[in-house]
């Protein structure tokens, strides 16, 4: 069948536009169908692309004309086996993506009139799975990267020298030359700004832990700026241009050397405490780090992130309560690490991380 020249539906640009685009379940269903199958329905069983049989009494079910397999619109997505109307999903996705500071489950419960807090909580939990793009690119390359270690949550006082209950997080920030785009309110006198970021919760700051993260998420040959910590000592041998600065614990000097990574760390902590009042369990921290990556990397195209959230949500698969309870986090794969015969889905503008 013919492929439409611009198959992806447009994203709502304002709240009024959103209300106009999605007045009922039918509109939501049509939009989700176009997001999941932008070039038309493809049978998940036989792979045949053709217009399916439709049943008015079962509008979410599509029957393949070739093999007669019945595929549910929400099956295999973050909405798998949902009993919540699509309008609730769409409103939750819009509020989640449009709000710069994010949304708590209690606030979502109030905004949508959901009876049970647990329902709102799991709805948000499943939406957060949609912030973890299954296949993402490495950062750096032509852009240098600032790299450091942060300590998030927990407490330090009263535990003794060098001891902490805070969680260790590796932070990499891409440095972009020039001024930020005009549609983002980032006032700076500097001639550079933060590009894409990568965050990972880690158990320690050993050299092998640092090396694994860098190899996973930073392009080989990238210029990496760090402080003089010994755990960063292998980066040059791994094929990176490592520029450390020995500061002897001079905070002013180190912040002048890698200002963007410290700004990202500061904003991350403020976001966690401001939105969630710091009440994030250690086993769930990576999920919230993924959400922060999603928000930060899409701050230049915040309105388009609603569509991106739905599209990634059709690719991540079901999210169960067991996943949440056990603290299971979706694994981020690198596009460059995938076999050559694995197709990489093209996401809309603003989706790149």
pLDDT in tens, the chain (353 residues): 344 445 778 999 899 999 999 999 999 999 999 999 998 999 999 999 999 999 889 999 999 999 999 999 999 899 998 999 999 999 999 999 888 777 788 889 999 999 999 999 889 989 988 888 777 889 999 999 999 999 987 665 666 555 667 899 999 999 998 877 764 555 556 788 999 999 999 999 899 999 999 999 999 999 999 988 889 999 999 999 999 988 766 677 777 889 999 999 999 998 888 777 766 778 888 888 999 999 999 888 777 889 999 998 888 877 776 665 565 655 545 544 433 333 333 333 333 34
Length of the chain, in residues: 353
> Which residue among 296, 313, 347 closes a domain?
296
- pTM surpassing 0.75? yes
Verify that 177 and 266 share a domain, yes or no. yes
Verify that 242 and 220 share a domain, yes or no. yes
Verify that 192 and 258 share a domain, yes or no. yes
316, 294 Cβ separation under 8 angstroms: no
Verify that 292 and 231 share a domain, yes or no. yes
Instruction: Copy the structure tokens of residue 200.
Output: 């990972």
Verify that 143 and 278 share a domain, yes or no. yes
Verify that 153 and 197 share a domain, yes or no. yes
Structural domain span for residue 111:
15-40+74-122+303-337
Q: Is 157 exposed, middle or buried (0-12, 13-18, 19+ CB in 10 A)?
A: exposed
Measured CA to CA, the distance from residue 102 to residue 90 in angstroms comes to 15
Confidence (pLDDT) at 3: 43
Confidence (pLDDT) at 321: 64
Verify that 235 and 88 share a domain, yes or no. no
Confidence (pLDDT) at 340: 37
Give the chain's end-to-end CA distance (angstroms, integer).
31
Question: CA separation (Å) from 122 to 55, 215, 230, 287, 317?
Answer: 30, 33, 42, 13, 15
Domain contains 254: yes
Verify that 307 and 287 share a domain, yes or no. no
**Is the C-alpha dihedral spanning 177, 179, 182, 183 positive or negative?**
positive
Q: Is 227 exposed, middle or buried (0-12, 13-18, 19+ CB in 10 A)?
A: buried
Q: How many domains does the chain fold into?
A: 2
Domain contains 1: no
147, 139 Cβ separation under 8 angstroms: no
Alpha helices for 192-258 (secondary structure H): 207-217, 251-257
Verify that 325 and 271 share a domain, yes or no. no
Domain contains 61: no
Verify that 217 and 96 share a domain, yes or no. no
Q: Is 58 exposed, middle or buried (0-12, 13-18, 19+ CB in 10 A)?
A: exposed
> Which residue among 278, 296, 314 closes a domain?
296
Backbone angles phi, psi at 312, to 5 degrees: -60, -35
Domain contains 87: yes
> Which residue among 265, 296, 327 closes a domain?
296
């Amino acid at each position: 069948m013919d492929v439409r020249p611009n198959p992806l539906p447009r994203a709502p640009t304002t709240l009024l536009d959103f209300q106009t685009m999605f007045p009922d379940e039918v509109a939501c269903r049509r939009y989700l169908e176009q997001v999941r199958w932008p070039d038309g329905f493809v049978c998940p069983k036989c792979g045949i692309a053709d217009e399916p049989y439709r049943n008015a009494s079962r509008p979410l079910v599509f029957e393949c004309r070739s093999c007669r397999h019945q595929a549910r619109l929400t099956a295999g997505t973050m909405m798998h086996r949902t009993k919540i109307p699509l309008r609730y999903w769409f409103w939750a996705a819009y509020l989640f993506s449009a709000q710069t500071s994010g949304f708590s489950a209690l606030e979502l419960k109030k905004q949508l009139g959901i009876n049970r807090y647990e329902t709102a909580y799991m709805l948000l939990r499943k939406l957060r799975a949609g912030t973890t793009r299954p296949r993402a690119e490495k950062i750096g390359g032509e852009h240098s990267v600032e790299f450091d270690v942060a300590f998030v949550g927990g407490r330090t006082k009263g535990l003794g020298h060098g001891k902490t209950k805070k969680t260790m997080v590796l932070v990499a920030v891409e440095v972009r030359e020039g001024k930020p785009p005009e549609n983002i309110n980032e006032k700076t006198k500097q001639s550079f700004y933060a590009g894409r970021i990568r965050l990972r919760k880690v158990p320690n700051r050993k050299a092998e832990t640092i090396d694994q993260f860098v190899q996973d998420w930073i392009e080989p040959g990238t210029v990496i700026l760090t402080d003089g910590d010994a755990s960063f000592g292998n980066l040059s041998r791994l094929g990176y241009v490592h520029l450390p600065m020995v500061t002897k614990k001079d905070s002013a000097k180190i912040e002048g050397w890698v200002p963007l990574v410290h700004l990202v760390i500061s904003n991350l902590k403020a976001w966690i405490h401001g939105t969630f009042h710091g009440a994030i369990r250690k086993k769930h921290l990576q999920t919230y780090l993924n959400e922060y990556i999603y928000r930060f990397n899409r701050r230049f195209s915040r309105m388009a992130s609603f569509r991106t959230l739905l599209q990634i949500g059709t690719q991540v698969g079901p999210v169960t309560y067991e996943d949440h309870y056990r603290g299971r986090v979706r694994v981020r794969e690198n596009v460059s690490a995938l076999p050559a015969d694995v197709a990489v889905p093209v996401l809309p503008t603003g989706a790149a991380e």
